Each structure stands twice: as structure tokens, then as C-alpha cells.
Amino acid sequence: MGQRRLLAVKELGWKNIPAIVQASMTKDDAIALSLVENVHRADMNPKDKAVALKAPLDRLGTVPQVQKETGMTGPTIKKYLLLLDLAPELQEKLAAGEVSATSRLSKLAKTIKDPTKQVEVYEQISGFTQDVQTQILGRVTADLGNLEDLVDEAHEGAFDMIHIRECLRDCPTIPKELKTQVAAMLKAHGSAASN
């Protein structure tokens, strides 16, 4: 732990630094502390994080135990671990920084187990927005029987819709004056329907 800092202060020519030396630490403790430090680095690529998280999982056995050791949430740990189930070429893209969509790629690994099919799906959906990719991955079947239809629908804009929960409050396309009139009509209709 602290290897980068030690190298940096040596490069700077410093003779003394503030440090805590843990002489009684076991090798497993040192590995665990190093892992915790590394997985929280922002510049660590997703594949390396996945590999780094697999080590304590293998040692500790459960995600909740890895959670305690790393301070990461269970869903985040699972998301990274799923990346190790991706096709090797997709893992290489992660390691090279060509792809950073860890949530969608972990969903791909969870949905499609066959590495060849994973690559096929990735190639067909990679040009769409994140939202559209997520919707396609949520609907595609494991045998990819509906992938072509989903991609066609996406090209036609079927997944580009804005989801609005309460139209009068959330709908950006209705003018304010019209919202007021519609609200009054709905209120009148609601009270007339209850009489």
C-alpha cells in the first residue's frame, strides 16, 4: 500500500515523509488493503477493477464480505464481476478504455451467456444511445431471436420516447396555458365522474 506515493516522493527527492508502518500485518491483510486502495481509484479501468474484486471474492467467498472489506455496494461489486463473463474481445475493449459502459456491458453478460452472441449484440447496439441500448438489452432474448426486430425498432425511433409520469406537471411539450385548461377539465371530469 502506498507504493505510488513512495515512488513519487523518491522522484521528488524527499528524505522524510509522514507514514504509518504496519510491521505486524499479514500478507493477506496487505493484499486486502492494497485492493481497497486500488478499486477506489478513478483511473482504474473497469476490467482491472473486476479482476481486483474477484481476488477477495475468491478468498472471502461472498459478495457481502467483499462489500465489508472494500466499502463498495453489493450491486456495484456484482456489476464489475459480471464483466469477467464477457467475451474476451469485449474485455479487451474495457481494458483499453475503448468502452466504459460498465452497466450495459454487465447487463449484456448477465443476459447473454454465449461470448459470440455477446459480441454480435454489442456490435449491433453500440451505435445507439445509452438509454436505447439499455432498453434493447432489457428486451432481447437469450437466443437473440428478437434482436433484429429490436434494432429495427430502435432505428425507427421506438425507444426514443420520453416517459412522463404526470403529463400536466412533467410534459415539456404542452404550453403552460394549455396545462391549466387541461387540469381544470380533468378536475371537472373527475368530480362529475364521482357524482
The model's confidence at residue 62, banded by pLDDT at 50, 70 and 90, is very high
Q: Are 86 and 118 in contact (CB under 8 A)?
A: yes
**Three-state secondary-structure class, residue 91:** helix
Q: What is the pTM for the complete model shown?
A: 0.64
Residue 124, pLDDT > 60, answer yes
Q: Is 165's pLDDT higher than 60?
A: no
Contact at 8 Å (CB) between 118 and 109? yes
Name the band, by pLDDT with cuts 50, 70 and 90, for residue 44.
confident
Q: How many CB atoms lie within 10 A of CB 88?
A: 9
Is the Cβ–Cβ distance between 153 and 160 less than 8 Å? no
Q: Report the C-alpha gap between 151 and 23 in whole angstroms.
A: 58
Tell me the pLDDT band of 52, cut-offs 50, 70 and 90.
confident
Give pairs for 31-35: CB < 8 Å, separation 24+. Answer: 31/55, 32/56, 32/69, 33/1, 34/1, 35/69, 35/70
Structure confidence by residue, pLDDT tens digits, 71-98: 889 999 999 999 999 999 999 888 887 7
